Structures are given as C-alpha cells and as structure tokens.
Amino acid sequence: MKTIAIIVAGGKGKRMGKPKQFLKIEGKPMLEWTVAAFQRAQSIDGIILVVSKEDLAKAKRIRSAKIIEVVESGKERTDSVRNGLKVLPPSAEIVVIHDGARPAVTVDIIERSVREAKKCGAIVAGVPVKDTVKKVESRKLKVERSLNRDELWLAQTPQTFKVSLIRRAYAQPAEKVTDDAMLVEKLKIPVKMVMGAYENLKVTTPEDLKLMAAILKDRGRCIWNT
C-alpha cells in the first residue's frame, strides 16, 4: 500500500507581507524543514510538492530522495490540492496532505495519521482548545454564547485519507473550504481526529516565524547532522 504526501506550499503570505515557504529558519528554508519530516517518516513512500510558478525552480533544488513530483499551485488551496492529486502514482492508496508552512510537524504525528487512516479512511491531526471559546456577533462584537470547550479541537495538518475517498470529496462542485476534511464531511463520511501537537503551528505572521525558530532550534541538530 503506497502512501504519498502532498505538501501544499503555494500561498502568497498576505499576513506575512511576502511568500513564506522559503524564508529561512535556523539557516534552512521553511519548506525544507517540512520536507525533512516526511523524508524521515518510514510510512511515506513519496512526496509531491505543490508550489507557486515562481518557486518551481527553488522547490526542485530541495534535496530529498522521496520527492517524486513538483507541480504548480492553483488559485485557491483546493486548486493546489487538486493539482497534487492529479499526479498521484497509480499505486497510491493513502495520501497525506500537509501545509508547507507547518515545519514543526513530527514523524510521530505523520505515522499516527497514516496508521489511523488505513483503518478509518479519513484523519485530521489536531489539538484540544485550551481557552474558553465564545461565539461573538461580528459587527457589534457582542458575546452570543460560550461554547463547550470539551468538544472543541483546533484542526491542523496532516490530514490523511484513503485516495479513493479524497478523490470523491474533491470531485464535488468547487467550493471554498479551509481544509480538506470539510469536503469529506460534506459526503457525510466520518472523520476521526488524532492528536497533533501544539508546536505544530502554521507560520502565518512574523511573530509565528520567531516562535518557530525557537521550536526548531534544538531539533535541527538531530535532523541536519544525520
């Protein structure tokens, strides 16, 4: 059973003020940190990178024996994932979809996601919320109600699926969604949450970049010196 990772890294970095996938963290481009985790995961047989047209040449210079394709991203994230799905090898049965801007993903999270996806079909990594969450009216900022924290998780990536299932999900009419699991949910198919990590945050702002540098500082000694 072949397992392929699609790493989506075609964002424009609007909140960062510039594209972030190749910003340096501890001397290495962010996307290289992300690829390194999937390179080290034994369950991953191949990696597909989805990047902007401007970054194709940079992405092709990333050294990883598991990279099998580098393809151009689309206008929206869903378009980018579709472009990655189009080049999956025929032998692929499990696909792991991950944000390139989550460079602190660990091998443990990847392996746990793949293992559960083989049993359940649709898996999202995430973490329970720590704070009280309130539903707020958008214009006047009036609190409408407090939500039950015990039922709330923050969805992360990787999001891992049987290939046949995610293709069905993406065959639905185009719709703007914020993650892949939402498309599977629209098919009324159960999606299981597995534990991610609070450190597995998405780098979106300059402040996130500083925090990620602190997270990855010690980890780099293990990754780049082996």
Domain map of the chain by residue range? Answer: 2-224
Residue 27 contacts residue 214 (beta carbons within 8 Å): no
The predicted structure's pLDDT at residue 7: 98
CA 121 from centre of chain: 17
DSSP reduced 3-state for 190: coil
pTM: 0.94
* 2-224 CATH: 3.90.550.10
Q: Please indicate whether residue 226 or residue 193 has the higher confidence score (pLDDT).
A: 193
- Can you spell out the DSSP letters for 107-156? HHHHHHHHHHHHHHSEEEEEEE--S--EEE-TTT--EEEE--GGG-EEEE
Residue 135 contacts residue 71 (beta carbons within 8 Å): no
Average pLDDT, the chain: 93
pLDDT score of 225 more than 70: no
pLDDT score of 17 more than 80: no
Going by their DSSP bridges, the two strands 143-146 and 134-136 should be labelled as antiparallel
DSSP reduced 3-state for 18: coil
* Residue 91 DSSP symbol: T
